[in-house]
Amino acid sequence: MTEHIDMKKEIDAIEAELEEKQKELDKIGVLSRDSVRYCAKAINMMHNKDFDEAAALLGKSRDAIASLKRMTKDNYMLMMSFQEFAEASVLYWVTKEAVSSRIPNYKELGISPEAYLLGVMDVVGELKREILDSLRANETEKAKAYLVLMESIYDATRAIRFPESVLPGFRKKQDVARIQLENAGSDILRFTK
């Protein structure tokens, strides 16, 4: 006959550790969602040309990201926040500066290179929207400048090939960017005829 082993104390200790871990993950989730929300609102403000409000929202996102980075070193958990921050920051730079020839890099933004690449690919879609807004405002040269920037992003990233495990979702974003680029070029041609 075997003796009954009392593991309750050990299991209770493990459960307490896991509860603490869950609390930390919950805090990370809230901060991550807040950061993404700030970026989405900032992008909307940029399209509305309210750059002061966009800058304030980007500041809030940057603060949330700084807190997240203090809470965890797991870049995978931070990927969505980093990606959205890259998209919003790069878009801010090019729209506020009225098509800048330089955009901030991932080190300047304090994010992972993977998240940066994914965010930059999303900028292509936002630039397509800026092109349409520029054409509606009869600002053809500005639309063409945005198209050149779209082309620059696409051309610079076209040869990047990594498996999904290294750069999740990137190939799909490349395909979407190519289609958006082709459509934007067609939109400008139709408008200028």
Model confidence over 17-62: pLDDT tens digits?
999 989 988 999 999 999 999 999 999 999 999 999 999 999 999 9
pLDDT, averaged across the chain: 92
Q: What is the DSSP-derived secondary structure letter of residue 9?
A: H
Expressed as residue numbers, the domain containing 113 is 9-192
Whether 3 is in a domain gets the answer no
Whether 41 is in a domain gets the answer yes
Residue owning tokens 């980007």: 58
Q: What is the DSSP string of 105-165?
A: -HHHHT--HHHHHHHHHHHHHHHHHHHHHHHHTT-HHHHHHHHHHHHHHHHHHTT----TT
Q: What percent of the chain has pLDDT over 70?
A: 94
- The total of structural domains in the chain comes to 1
Whether 77 is in a domain gets the answer yes
How far apart are the C-alpha atoms of 172 and 134, rounded to whole Å? 27
pLDDT at 100: 57
Q: What is the DSSP-derived secondary structure letter of residue 72?
A: -
The pLDDT of residue 122 is above 60: yes
How far apart are the C-alpha atoms of 94 and 122, rounded to whole Å? 14
Handedness of CA 134, 140, 141, 144 (dihedral sign): positive
Whether 68 is in a domain gets the answer yes
Q: What average pLDDT does the segment 1-28 reach?
A: 85
Whether 72 is in a domain gets the answer yes
Residue predicted with more confidence, 103 or 129: 129
CATH code of the domain containing 14? 1.20.58.2140
Residue predicted with more confidence, 4 or 113: 113
pLDDT band at residue 72 using 50, 70 and 90 as cut-offs: confident
Is 53 within 8 Å of 86 (Cβ atoms)? no
How far apart are the C-alpha atoms of 82 and 93, rounded to whole Å? 16
pLDDT band at residue 101 using 50, 70 and 90 as cut-offs: low
Whether 1 is in a domain gets the answer no
Look at residue 31 and give its three-state secondary structure: helix
Residue 71 token pair: 């809470």
Whether 149 is in a domain gets the answer yes
Whether 14 is in a domain gets the answer yes
